[in-house]
Amino acid sequence: MSDNQVSDIVMNNDGKGMPGAEALPVEEERLQRKQKLAAAFRLFGRFGFDEGVAGHITVRDPEKLDHFWVNPMGVSFKQMRVSDLLLVDHEGNVVEGEGLLNGAAFTIHSRVHAARPDVVAAAHAHSVYGKSWSSLGRLLDPITQDSCAFYEDHALLGEFTGVVLDLDEGKRIGDALGDKKAIILQNHGLLTVGQSVEAAAWWYITMERSCQAQLMAEAAGTPKLISPEHAKQTHGTVGSELAGWFSFKPLYDVISKEQPDLFD
């Protein structure tokens, strides 16, 4: 496949035919999802998205669809390995793996996965710019090409009510997310979802940077908005599932080569 052909796919494909999306044996698919999940944690750690025991990324099991893999509480993002991951059902039972389950991780992710059967992975952390922007109780504006990935494709959950430990609060997040790829949790932070670990993780990374860009732009003056017509058009290019998958790939290639112990 030529570079031009790849470019055309990224710009026009709706996610079907995504490289690596062909059917795999369940065990192989499970392993690949867990490897990408461990790598996503390493990247989140590298980018400084970790804050104590806060933050979690999950991926749905390819066979047990009401189960997901998640990081154990108290293990650094920077040291996450495939063997550290926990398999959890939607009742909060740790089915496989050793370690503590973060209560907020279960409460949030179990409800998001239940509300969105199309979602394979979800990411949430307490990164600096995401939580700073969330305190404003506003959606992101289309001020850059990158922020257009979220144009009319992210939601806002207002009124912070404390640490999310109640299933009703998790359901409120799932309901507010709707059919969008991301949500801003007021006074809390960001949450992104995707049809792959790659997409969910990339949307988080670029949303965090979009929050940073808008905070900086508004500190300097009044940003000029991209027109709705061009914002929507740009969203179709940079905001597709396939674009998210491809954008994560170079990050994965680097971290997996530099830190191969994540596969242990």
pLDDT per position as a tens digit, 193-202: 999 999 999 9
For the whole model, what pTM was predicted?
A: 0.92
Reference 105, options 186, 31, 170, 160; nearest CA is 170
Give the C-alpha separation, 132 to 184, whole Å: 11
The fold adopted by the segment(s) 26-259 is L-fuculose-1-phosphate Aldolase (3.40.225)
pLDDT per position as a tens digit, 157-186: 998 877 766 778 889 999 999 999 999 999
pLDDT band of 18, cuts 50, 70, 90? low
pLDDT of 8 higher than 50 = no
